């Protein structure tokens, strides 16, 4: 980077800077933990009284958490893990109940992303007939967003006493979560016009906005794979179409990479088989409170914390077991 000719090729220079920053993030995080441990060991020698020991114990817990975070981050070494992510939630059968459950999951993931200091953008949504969402898509932009978020792919099951049932009966609702990487660089994937179908429609949402007065929303279907993407967040149909094509290319590229990784996994005989799309987690509100991951068997009794975005317990356990 110190060479005089470094900026002659701006694209190459930017690539080098990104690699440099990625390496620095590892070094700085490691150095911070190492210095913290050294400092704690020095303080522990002279610690006196229960109060000082308690303070040191709390700092040890925080340092250990940072070490676990670094350990998990080290597992995010696959080709797509460092990318930003599109996360889509689709309500299952069950009408209003499932649409409300989709909105609860949307809130949970937004809070989780905010805790990780990721930027959150709502790309597309279809509101429920009464409440919640039939589907909603976010873009999460931040360090290793796809690497972490990919652990949430699958069906999420809710058991609770429905606020929409006057008889106070328990209901079971389902919602599926899909996650794809955001591929910003040029992808060498050819999408032939005859392989896709483009539909335009009136955007959803509150009336009176420009976005609701024209057929600006766009849906693109890739006929060979059945992959469908949609966007209605932008004001113009052209902008929504461009976003849709980016999402479609990303999804097709992810499919290609995952198929390649699966072939390699079978050749190497990896220890775990990860079944994407299956029921991955149960959220029980009544008669007791419990969130349990069906893949790792990790569970939490504090359902309110989980719904407020504290899901790293499940994400980290998944990455440790399946990476």
Domain match, 96 and 45 both:
no
Q: What is the mean pLDDT of the chain?
A: 86
Of 37, 54, 74, the last residue of a domain is: 74
Domain boundary among 26, 56, 74: 74
Confirm whether 79 is domain-assigned. Answer: no
Residues 66 and 37 in one domain: yes
pLDDT for residue 269: 52
Does 55 lie in the same domain as 107? no
Structure tokens at 188: 């060498």
Query: Over 70: is that where the pLDDT of 106 sits?
Result: yes
Cβ burial 270-284 (10 Å sphere, 16+ → b, else e) = eeeebeeeeebbbbb
Listed residues 31, 50, 74: the one ending a domain: 74
SS3 label, residue 263: helix
The pairing of strands 154-161 and 279-284 is parallel
Report the Cα 95 to chain-centroid distance in Å: 25
pLDDT of residue 162: 86
Instruction: Summarize pLDDT for 282-302 with one digit per residue, the tens.
Output: 999 988 999 999 999 999 999
Q: Which pLDDT score, from 0 to 100, does residue 275 have?
A: 40
236-274: pLDDT as tens digits: 889 899 899 888 988 888 888 888 877 766 654 544 443
Residues 269 and 121 reside in one and the same domain: yes
Let me know: does 161 contact 170? Beta carbons within 8 Å. yes
Q: How confident is the model at residue 109 (pLDDT cuts 50, 70, 90)?
A: very high
Same domain, yes or no, for 102 and 41?
A: no
Q: Are residues 203 and 296 in the same domain?
A: yes
Same domain? For 188 and 290 the reply is yes
Domain membership of residue 257 as a residue range: 84-322
> Do the domain assignments include residue 221?
yes
Give yes or no: residues 16 and 142 share one domain.
no
**Are residues 104 and 67 located together in one domain of the fold?**
no
Which residues touch 289 (CB under 8 Å, ≥6 apart)? 301, 302, 303
For residue 278, how many C-alpha atoms fall within 13 Å in the half-sphere facing its CB? 8
On whether residue 60 sits in a domain, the answer given is yes
Dihedral class, residue 105 (left if φ above 0, else alpha if ψ from -120 to 50, else beta): alpha
pLDDT over threshold 80, residue 32: yes
130 is a domain residue: yes
Q: Is residue 232 part of a domain?
A: yes
Structural domain includes residue 1 = no
Identify the pLDDT of residue 190.
Answer: 73
Query: Are 41 and 131 part of one and the same domain?
Result: no
Q: What is the pLDDT of residue 264?
A: 64
pLDDT tens for each residue of 41-67: 888 887 777 788 888 888 899 898 888
Q: Are residues 306 and 241 in the same domain?
A: yes
Q: Mapping DSSP to helix (H, G, I), strand (E, B) and coil, where does residue 118 land? A: coil
**pLDDT band for position 141 (50/70/90)?**
very high
pLDDT tens-place string over residues 147-166: 999 999 999 999 999 888 77
How many independent structural domains does the chain possess? 2
Answer yes or no: is 110 within a domain: yes
Eight-state DSSP code of residue 188: -
Same domain, 70 and 141: no
For the domain that residue 117 is a member of, what is the CATH number? Answer: 3.30.70.1660
pLDDT > 90: percent of the chain: 41
38 occurs within a structural domain? yes
pLDDT on residue 74: 84
Contact criterion met (CB below 8 Å) for 114 and 309: yes
């Amino acid at each position: 980077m110190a060479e005089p000719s470094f900026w002659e090729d701006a694209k190459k220079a930017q690539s080098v800077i990104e690699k440099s920053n990625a390496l620095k993030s590892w070094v700085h995080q490691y150095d911070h933990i190492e210095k913290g441990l050294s400092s704690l060991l020095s303080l522990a020698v002279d610690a006196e009284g229960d109060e000082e020991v308690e303070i040191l114990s709390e700092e040890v817990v925080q340092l250990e958490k940072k070490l676990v975070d670094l350990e998990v981050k080290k597992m995010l070494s696959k080709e797509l893990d460092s990318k930003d992510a599109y996360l889509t939630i689709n309500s299952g059968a069950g009408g209003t109940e499932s649409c409300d459950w989709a909105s609860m999951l949307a809130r949970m993931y937004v809070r989780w992303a905010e805790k990780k200091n990721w930027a959150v953008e709502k790309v597309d949504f279809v509101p429920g007939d009464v409440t919640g969402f039939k589907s909603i898509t976010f873009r999460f932009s931040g360090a290793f967003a796809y690497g972490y978020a990919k652990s949430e792919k699958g069906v999420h099951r809710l058991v609770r006493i429905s606020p929409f049932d006057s008889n106070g009966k328990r209901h079971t609702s389902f919602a599926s979560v899909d996650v794809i990487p955001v591929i910003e660089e040029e992808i060498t994937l050819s999408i032939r016009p005859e392989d896709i179908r483009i539909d335009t429609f009136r955007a959803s949402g509150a009336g009176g906005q420009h976005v609701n007065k024209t057929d600006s929303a766009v849906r693109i279907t890739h006929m060979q794979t059945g992959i469908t993407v949609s966007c209605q967040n932008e004001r113009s149909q052209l902008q929504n179409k461009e976003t849709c094509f980016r999402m479609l290319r990303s999804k097709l590229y992810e499919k290609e990479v995952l198929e390649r990784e699966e072939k390699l996994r079978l050749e190497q005989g990896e220890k775990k088989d990860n079944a994407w799309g299956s029921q991955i987690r149960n959220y029980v509100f009544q008669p007791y409170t419990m969130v349990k991951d069906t893949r790792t068997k990790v569970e939490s009794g504090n359902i309110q914390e989980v719904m407020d975005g504290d899901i790293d317990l499940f994400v980290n356990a998944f990455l440790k077991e399946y990476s």
